[in-house]
Structure 1
């Protein structure tokens, strides 16, 4: 499958957490309700949210997007094994469709105060 784009992003966790504390409404602008809580119903950690934000930035880069996409139109979900994937809708799905993207691969990581994500967009 041809690769349309690759995106990578890194986020300093403490700086991101400080932004969320300073602007509480920011979480609702960046994340779906499901992304903000764990499967057990507890709030997600700053590391986990920062990695999800990095994934959304990496996704935008992989799609060559210069703006116009809504943050909550991309959602990071985990399968039963804890493997992440991206669910897209609305503005993000429209951009992916315009490029012929049929598959997205995402990898998340956080360690040493940095969260990182890589996204590969493919056509099929």
Structure 2
């Protein structure tokens, strides 16, 4: 793939009606146990849950994954005081590596039930 055929950035926005209740079973399908534990420990947990799902959608689209996002093959981690980072594993990590694709960078924001996420190629490893 060449950069000219690949989007340099993907943005996704989710509205409050797209966030099920924090106890909804679907969160365990979309997010890892660690992501759910992190988000549920914060105020406005639904926003934190939703923004992670939204970021995974953006990252899967940027990577060009052929089909629905492989939810459990992506995990968003955040260290205290640090920016969130995306980690790939399993079939998605293998698929991306076979195509020479780096792990996308991500940015998350949320307010009043809305969530927005960006995924972009890191400058040092952008696909050519």
TM category (shorter chain) comes to 0.7 to 0.9
The reply on whether 1:101 has 2:101 as its aligned counterpart is yes
Structure 1: segments with no counterpart, 5+ residues: none
How do 1:41-120 and structure 2 match up within 5 A? 42=41, 45-67=45-67, 69-120=69-120
Secondary structure of the structure 1 residue equivalent to 2:104: strand
Q: Is the 8 A contact 1:8 1:61 kept in 2?
A: no
The reply on whether 1:8 has 2:11 as its aligned counterpart is yes
Larger relative contact order, structure 1 or 2 (CA cutoff 8 Å, min sep 6): 1
Runs of 4+ in 1 over 6 A off after TM superposition: none
Q: Is the 8 A contact 2:87 2:103 kept in 1?
A: no
What value does the CA root-mean-square deviation take over the aligned residues? 2.6
Secondary structure of the structure 2 residue equivalent to 1:115: strand
Number of positions where the alignment pairs a residue of Structure 1 with one of Structure 2: 119
Residue 17 of structure 1: how far off its partner (Å) = 2.3
Q: Any idea what the Cα deviations from partners look like across 1:53-97, whole Å, max 9, x if unmatched?
A: 010000011011231652011000002314100011012212321
Change (3 A) 1:68 1:91: farther
Q: Distance in 1 between matches of 2:71 and 2:16?
A: 18
Secondary structure of the structure 2 residue equivalent to 1:34: helix
